[in-house]
Structure 1
Amino acid sequence: MRRLASLRRARTIPRAVIGLTTALAVVVMAAVVLGIDRGSATRNPALDSEIKRADGKLHLTASQWGTLTVKPVEQHAFRSEFRTEGKIAIDQNLSTRVFAPYAGRVTKLMAAPGDHVQKGQLLFVIAAADSVDAQKDFLVALTSRNKAASQVNLAQIVERRMSNLAKDKAASQREWQEAQANLTAAENDSRSAEIALEAARNRLRLVGKTDAEIDAFEKTGTLTPDAPVYAPLAGTVLQRKVGPGQYVSAGAGDSDPAFLVGDTSKVWVVAYVREADVAKVRIGERLTFKVMTRPDHVFETRIDYVAPSIDPDSRRLLVRASIDNADGLLKPEMFASVTVVTSEGAPTPAAPLEAVIYEGSIARVWVVGDDQSVELRQIRLGQSDGRLIQVLDGLRPGEKIVTRGSLFIDRMTSSQG
């Protein structure tokens, strides 16, 4: 029995050893396989064969060159400029506010906003008591003038008669002199009456009466409360602040104008300059702007006015420029994106924005050599115009640089490192 048990133990030991040996072999094979996979994940033999380092330069294959875009470094003048906001405004030298000359009620409206009017065209009519008073004064002055003219005629007749009688010794010299004095006084009164009549006539003109209307009124003497108001210049009705039957005050005062008429063939672009940029602004500097109705079109003019002081509320300096608007595209109160060009600048080397690789504050580009190699070169940058960026140091005009695909080269070199 003891011998049988020992035989059984002898058979069991080799089986355990065989199982352990098999497990170790499996682990070793797995490690080998994992090691091969890990090496293939970190190394790319294809890249090793395509990129070779020689004196710090990289040599690419023909297939890799096909994925890149190369452009020469060009010369470009970068302007010194700053941007701000602004708006389109009416040229106040070509516009005027129209007020009612007398207080009264609006009886007629002859023009609407947007209408083009000529100088002297009727805008509106008001019924004004002052208009009636002006007509009364004119009638009184007219009567006085006519009376003075009659007195002159009578004095002339008497003077001529006394002159003849004095020559014939039928009248004394004293009587003739009195007739002459009366004639002189009558003529002076006539001149005063003429002046008073002209003053009354001018008052009617201020009320809005035309010379033709005054002449007709002089013949008929018919009083009317109507006080017409005419356009003082040719242009477009930009605003109308009165309606039919509305009572309006006389003169400007604190009230809004009844009409605003302006010539919009030329308008202002008004810009509001930040306090930090005030020292850069001068009359005559170039100003460009865009409006939302034509975002792709750049309007260009020059500054012709700089405000003498900064606005205390907005802390901005107002500058403006005039621009032709014959096509009527620019409307008052339009928003404008304004750029003030303070210096045109001299041409310097420039690189496309997509060619520059940034690593923190350091900028680099891939420069293409004559032997079709590429090398990474650090550059110092300046201004940008949205398409190109100024290169202050590191590149010369004519050198070729990689634009599209520069990041692709960067990734390849990083994967090799």
Structure 2
Amino acid sequence: MKSPIAAALRALAVTLALLGAGQASAHEGHDHGAPPPPVSKTIAPRGEAVSEAFELVAVPRDGTLQLYLDRFRTGEPVTGATVEVDTPDGSKTAQATAERSYALPAPWLSKPGHYDLLVTVTAGDVVDVMPVSLDLPAPAAAAAAPATVGAVQTVSDSVRAAVPEITHGLRERLAKQDPVLLTVAAGSFLLGILLMLVARGRRRVPVIAVLAITATVLLSATAFAHGDEDHGAEQKPIQGAALIERAPGGAAPTDLAQRLADGTVFVPKPTQRLLELRTAMTEAGTFSRTIGLPGRVIPNPNASGVVQSSVGGRLSPPTSGLFPRLGTPVKKGDVLAYVTPPVARVDVSDMRQRQGELDQQIAIVQRRVERFSKLATSGAVAQVQLDEAQDELKGLRDRRTALDRIRSEPEPLIAPVDGVVAEASATAGQMANAGQMIFQIVDPKNLWVEALSFDALTAGQHATARLPDGRTFELTYQGSGLADRNQAIPVQFAIEGDASGLRVGQFLTVLAITDGQLSGLALPRAAVVRTSNGQDVVYEHTTAERYEARQVRIEPLDGNRVLIGGGIGPGKRVVVQGAELLDQVR
């Protein structure tokens, strides 16, 4: 039987060796061990599989296996398919849901572990078999208890086996410790001996006392050894696929789109359906070179007109009492306004004098006609003389009537074509100058575009007009000017199709195709996103629920497409719809 002193010494040696070794390792270079890998709180366990035709994601949630099936090339959800799953309970058929997915009751998912499933998809004439693997982790609380018990048992066994080696190296470790720590340890040992002498016959008391006092003192010293250092700072998330964590209370986590630490964007399938994300495969090709020209909308010269006053005068409204305003439809021949020319005082005096002369001549000729009429019945005056006198009287009366009408009748302003009033500058009582444009009539369905080009364009070349809001219109070449304007050649195009929403004078960009050839990848303009630093990027669909931004170099191709000159190669899935929304994920 060993003495109590030997037992105390052995216990003290073990305690000092374990705690001293931990203290020494904690202070050499301040290495406190690797931080635990943090995981996302919002991403559930999942499995995925891809084939040439389909892309499948399986997510277990609340005892149900949710299956999301999309087209591999476009990312479009597949509806109306037959999805059969080989499960531990046998072959089952998933049912379609309102969220454009498929659901399968799976009570066996309540048990953690690894599951290999075989999914058979039948969509029209396409049949595909896709293997899916699921790894369901054990709850954190249940896994922690066995691990703790095992660790304690392992440490206990290791301590029993390592007592001789620890006792042998105790002297070397104690020589390297702090003097204050050694003093405290020696005092604790002496206190244990004292307790042993007081309580003779109780062999366990000194051992317990020595262990308790020494552990307390050394742990306190270890806690204060770090000074004012703060090791409770929040850990940075790590990259990779460690994306599983149980929510509080053991409930299954929910999926949330997020930008990961490596720059990729994780977008779960339900969010992809909400954002209507669509992809396209990049293909290399050769395309005609396109140049961008500044242009503006002009009216078609053959379907528009202007209303001008031929004489200066005062404007007055038509018989309706209202001037036609902007946007008012008019027909050819409609009276839009009247112009009453002013008459000066000198002109009024001359007109009155002329009127008096005409009145006098009319009276003289009138008496001659009456006399000839009486004499013509007796044959004293020839009938020819009577007819000449009557004609002269009629001419004088017409001149008198015209003179009166000039003073009172205004000039009507008439619409020359059918269309809509595009410009109007008429106000009641306004004085209009001769040749001044009062109205402009434009046919909104028949408009042209005039652009300025530094390169000569030939007839038959295709062109597209693009507005700042992204709308495009097909153009037909009409002709080029022979006289330069601002050192550029004016070129006119006719807008084909529906031109509603365009305004005369509106600026736009004309994309004209030239004879040059370029090689690259053609993508829709909606696929390119301009980042905050001015760089153009596209999003590549790398896996079923991950997207990665690729910096690219672009050139204009036409109104709807751009040419990718570098940054991504052919055979890649690129987001062509919803890229702007995808770029907002943080």
What is the TM-score with the length of structure 2 in the denominator? 0.35
Higher relative contact order, structure no. (Cα contacts within 8 Å, ≥ 6 residues apart): 1
What is the TM-score with the length of structure 1 in the denominator? 0.46
Relative to total residues, which structure has the larger helix share, 1 or 2?
A: 1
